[in-house]
Each structure stands twice: as C-alpha cells, then as structure tokens.
C-alpha cells in the first residue's frame, strides 16, 4: 500500500502542527538538503507546452529516495475559476523503485516556496531585519509573510497590489497573524524603510516592479515572481549592483531574473552558502538578491518532511496503487483469484 496525503489531511495536519511550526520544520529539511546538494541527481524538468499553459514533471533523487512533482501552470485558469498552478508529488524508495507516498502539492508547493525564501534570507538578509515589503498579494503572499515571521522574526509588513481584491484577501488572511501590516498606495511607497523586499507579482511579462532607485543599501530582495521565460520583475541595474544567489544556475538563467543578463553573469549558488562554502551577505550595506525559481530538491525536501511527519498519525490514508502479490511473477493470478 502507498501512503496518501490529500488536501483534507494536509490541511488538518498543518492546522494541528501550526503553520509557523510547519514552515520552520519544513525549512529545516530544505536547509539540510541544500547542504548536501552534490548528493542529488539533478535533471532538468520535463515540460509539455500547449497554447493554454504547461505541464511539468520535476524529478530528483538521492541514493535512498526518489521524488517527483507534477505541476501545471495555466494563467488563463483564473478566468475559469480554477487555480493557475496545481501540483502533486510522489516519494519512492530508490532500492525497490516502489512508491511510498503520494501527496497533494498545491499547498505544499506554496509552503516550500515560502520556506525556501526564508532559508535563503536567513543567510542573505541583515540579521536585524524586521520590516518586509511584499509587492504582489496573490496566492503565495501570505505564505511568504508567515514564513518570514516564523523564520526571520519579521514584525512589520508593507504591502502593495494593483488589485484591491487581492489586498483585501491578504489583509483578511493576515488579521490574526501578529504581523503589523501597512497597505501602501504604490510599490514605491511599500519599499520605503523595508529591510527585505519580496516581489511576487503574477504578470507574465518583462515588468519593472522594482527599479534601481527604489533599492537602498543593505536591502535583501526575495525575487519570487520572475520564474519563467519572458517573466521578470527587477530592473537589470539592480542585478548589476547587488550579489545574485540562485538555486540551479542553468535553470535560473532561463527562468529567473537573470534571463535579462549575459550568459556568464556571475551568480552564487544558494547551496554553497548553506554549506558554508560562500559567506553569503558580506556587509550590512550590500544588496543581496535571491533569484528564486523553485527547484525539484525543494519538493523532495517537502515530501521527505511530510512523510516523516505523518508516520504514526491519522493524517494519511493508504491507497492500493501497487499490487501485493503472493508470487511476484504471477501478475495474471490477480485476475484469476
């Protein structure tokens, strides 16, 4: 039998654990896996494009576990009342090839993205950071806010979105968060005095959400929204002024903010910082940029955490995705029994 964690059980698990604790523990797994980055089999995601969107498979493995995520991206879904991104994933035993756990990953991806941002910021933001600006208040925004509160000690948010409905949704969701939220009237105003700036806008365009003149010394930019070819949020000058940190350079050069830059634009891999091979932030006035696009190991960490977390609990069920045969050679016997 394969363990199954659907939306209902994952939601119940997170409520039971508490979302801040969940994000903190998840961040620990993500950090551990970044630290042992060379141990992973890293292959490019496999994408199937259509006129409406893309469906991707993102596999990775270490020598014990194999994981993959199925994820779609369909911007026009929002007009049909559907989510633009949904996902599910599987964790398997490398030695037998048998799947162990199947999980919903729409929610889990939102959590791992925010936890990864917070892990990066712990190495890259100034330790005294308390104020975060968030530009773009879509589905990912509350997860970012919560992860930065739980992992960085952020106390104040300055937020902005073009759409009043998104702002309203964000404020409603953050009402009891313990965070002090200021709704700004523009991006320019939102970033004033912020130690950390998170950009997570949804437009599938080369946009300039942040321009160089908006970025003060010592700021850490958590650039999450520029995550596919043709979609960026930062003016190139910012990338030239700061130090850029990435997950997998070959993927980020295609999908991230640095798609605007030359092929040999210098970047530092986040895992090197986590593993202690690079110091990360070098001074209080340096501008640091985490050019986040998401990578398969983060999903692997999330599945690994979830699997550990649901053992000996009722937050999973079992499904008969695999036959259990008395004689493994006698598959046909299933039909005769």
Site for a second copy in 44-103 (CB under 8 A): 46, 48, 50, 52-55, 57, 59, 61, 63, 66, 68, 70, 72-74, 77-78, 80-84, 86, 88, 90, 92, 94-99, 102
**Cα separation of 56 and 14, whole Å?**
26
| Contacts for 60 with CB less than 8 Å, ≥ 6 apart | 40, 41, 42, 43, 66, 67, 68, 295, 296, 297, 299, 300
> Which among 248, 252, 189, 243 is positioned nearest to 221, based on CA atoms?
243
Q: Cβ of residue 213: shortest distance to a second copy, in angstroms?
A: 30
The verdict on 322 binding a second copy (CB under 8 A) reads yes
Q: Binding segment for a second copy among 190-198, 218-226, 255-263, 327-335 (CB under 8 A)?
A: 327-335
Q: Binding segment for a second copy among 106-114, 214-222, 281-289, 299-307 (CB under 8 A)?
A: 106-114
| Contacts for 120 with CB less than 8 Å, ≥ 6 apart | 222, 245, 270, 290, 292
DSSP three-state, residue 113: helix
Q: Could you say which residues in the range 283-302 bind a second copy, by CB under 8 A? A: none
Q: Could you say which residues in the range 155-184 bind a second copy, by CB under 8 A? A: 165-166, 169, 173
**Cα separation of 257 and 12, whole Å?**
36
| Contacts for 15 with CB less than 8 Å, ≥ 6 apart | none
Q: Cβ of residue 200: shortest distance to a second copy, in angstroms?
A: 12
**Cα separation of 10 and 29, whole Å?**
17
Q: What is the DSSP letter of 329?
A: T
Q: Cβ of residue 194: shortest distance to a second copy, in angstroms?
A: 21
227 is catalytic: yes
Q: Binding segment for a second copy among 14-22, 26-34, 246-254, 287-295 (CB under 8 A)?
A: 14-22
Residues 20, 24, 25, 138: which binds a second copy (CB under 8 A)? 138
Catalytic, out of 195, 227, 291, 299: 227
- Just list the catalytic residues: 227
């Amino acid at each position: 039998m394969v363990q199954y964690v659907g939306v209902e059980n994952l939601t119940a698990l997170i409520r039971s654990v508490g979302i801040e604790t969940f994000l903190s523990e998840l961040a620990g797994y993500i950090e551990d896996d970044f630290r042992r980055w060379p141990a992973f089999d890293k292959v490019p995601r496999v994408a199937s494009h259509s006129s409406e969107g893309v469906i991707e498979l993102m596999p990775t493995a270490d020598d014990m576990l194999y994981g993959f995520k199925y994820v779609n991206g369909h911007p026009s879904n929002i007009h049909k009342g559907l989510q633009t991104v949904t996902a599910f994933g599987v964790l398997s035993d490398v030695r037998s090839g048998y799947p162990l756990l199947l999980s919903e990953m729409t929610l889990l991806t939102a959590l791992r993205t925010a936890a990864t941002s917070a892990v990066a910021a712990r190495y890259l933001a100034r330790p005294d950071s308390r104020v975060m600006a968030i530009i773009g208040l879509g589905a990912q925004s509350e997860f970012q806010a919560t992860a930065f509160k739980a992992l960085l000690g952020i106390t104040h948010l300055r937020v902005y979105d073009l759409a009043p409905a998104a702002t309203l949704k964000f404020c409603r969701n953050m009402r009891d968060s313990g965070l002090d939220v200021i709704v700004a009237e523009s991006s320019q105003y939102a970033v004033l005095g912020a130690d950390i700036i998170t950009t997570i806008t949804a437009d599938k365009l080369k946009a300039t959400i942040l321009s160089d003149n908006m970025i003060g010394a010592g700021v850490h930019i958590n650039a999450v929204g520029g995550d596919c070819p043709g979609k960026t949020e930062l003016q190139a000058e910012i990338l030239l002024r700061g130090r850029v940190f990435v997950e997998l350079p070959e993927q980020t050069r295609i999908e991230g903010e640095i798609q605007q830059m030359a092929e040999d634009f210098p970047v530092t891999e986040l895992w090197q910082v986590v593993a202690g091979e690079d110091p990360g932030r070098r001074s209080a006035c340096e501008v640091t940029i985490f050019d986040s696009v998401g990578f398969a190991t983060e999903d692997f960490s999330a599945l690994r955490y979830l699997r550990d977390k649901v053992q000996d609990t009722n937050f999973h069920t079992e499904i008969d995705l695999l036959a259990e045969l008395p004689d493994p050679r006698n598959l046909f016997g299933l039909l005769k029994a």
